Amino acid sequence: MGNDAPKLYELIWRRAVASQMADAIIESTTVIVDSQIQNSKFKIQNKRDNYRLRASGSVLVFEGFLKANPQALDDKKLPEFKVSESLNLLNINAEKHETPPPPRYNEASLIKTLEEKGIGRPSTYAMIISTIEERQYVERDPSTGSGQRLTPTPVGIAVNDFLVKYFSTIDDIPFTAEMEDELDNIAHGKREWVPVIAQFYKPFEKTVEKVKEDAKRVKIEVEKTDEKCPECKSNLVVRIGRFGKFISCGSFPKCKFSKPFVEKTGLKCPKDAGEIIVKKTRKGRKFFGCSNYPACDYATWKLESMKKTLV
């Protein structure tokens, strides 16, 4: 628990106390201004004659429970207005406003979304996430928060585009959710599996045959490196294969040079000052080891524990 226990206690305490306190009173004012364009001093696109403008302000009159549960609640003050007052247009400012894209999913938010859409079941969520990771459709982006955001790889994007283009009828959300319900019904003995699968499989089989004939091979973007191929001097690129990333010659298939992809950590081995690189166990668990393996057998699960031994 560490530091979390006192924080959690304080949160519960504040909520409990706040729930017994009086309401906060906030005075809010909305001013509506109906305008008419009379002269053409201001150029407005899609010119209309009337515009309705709205401004809202709010002032905290009585703190109430907010005293125990402080949150940033800034007063937004409006100038004095009188009803039916007439106003002059002084200026028009054009302001650019962009809505930021929603953040990338992390494991928890992805599962929450799957749950909302009725896709997957508690027993399959872990499987779904490990599958998209094993197939290299997503990567954990170390630059995001605690590095837990899942970012699609070029392979993931290509697979998604391919499915949307050719399999939109089975790739969509309602289909998947309905199929999951049907599978539940089979599991509960309410439905026979043969007719359910037949209903899905017959049209699906036809689609697969058609896609096999029509679809073009998908070209997946490769990541270029500055390194030159030792055999033909082309630039080396990072490709994604069945076992993950590997370095290959940019002029493949003419040149067949390839070598393993090494993810460096920038840290030195405490035993022999070799380079610490990211490795994976046979089961796919990540660990950190020395690049001089097998001459040096230094390895650790966590970089933090290694940094401690260095100090």
Q: Which residues bind Zn ion (CB under 5 A)?
A: 229, 231-232, 234, 249, 255, 257, 269, 271-272, 274, 290, 292, 296, 298
Dihedral angle, C-alpha 33, 39, 43, 49, nearest 10 °:
50
Nearer to Zn ion, 79 or 253 (CB): 253
Helix (H) or strand (E) run with residue 279 in it: strand 275-280
CA-CA distances (angstroms) from residue 92 to 18, 96, 178? 44, 13, 52
The least distance separating Zn ion from the CB of residue 286, rounded to whole angstroms, comes to 18
Query: How many alpha carbons lie under 13 Å from residue 78 in its C-beta half-sphere?
Result: 14
Contact of 249 with 257, CB cutoff 8 Å: yes
Shorter beta-carbon distance to Zn ion: residue 229 or 240? 229
216 burial (CB, 10 Å; 0-12 / 13-18 / 19+) is: exposed
Query: Is the separation of the CB atoms in 238 and 245 below 8 Å?
Result: yes
Task: Supply the minimum distance, in Å, between the C-beta of residue 309 and Zn ion.
Answer: 12
> Measured from the CB atom, is 207 or 292 closer to Zn ion?
292
Query: Nearer to Zn ion by C-beta: 22 or 295?
Result: 295
Which residues are registered as beta bridge partners of 289?
277, 299
Is the CB of 234 or the CB of 300 nearer to Zn ion?
Answer: 234
CB 284 to Zn ion: min, Å: 23
Least separation, in Å, of the C-beta of 250 and Zn ion? 7
Q: Which two tokens stand for residue 126?
A: 């872990």
Q: How far is the CB of 233 from Zn ion (least distance, A)?
A: 7
Kindly tell me which of 150 and 290 has the beta carbon lying closer to Zn ion.
Answer: 290
The distance of closest approach from Cβ of residue 268 to Zn ion in the complex, given in angstroms and rounded to an integer, is 8
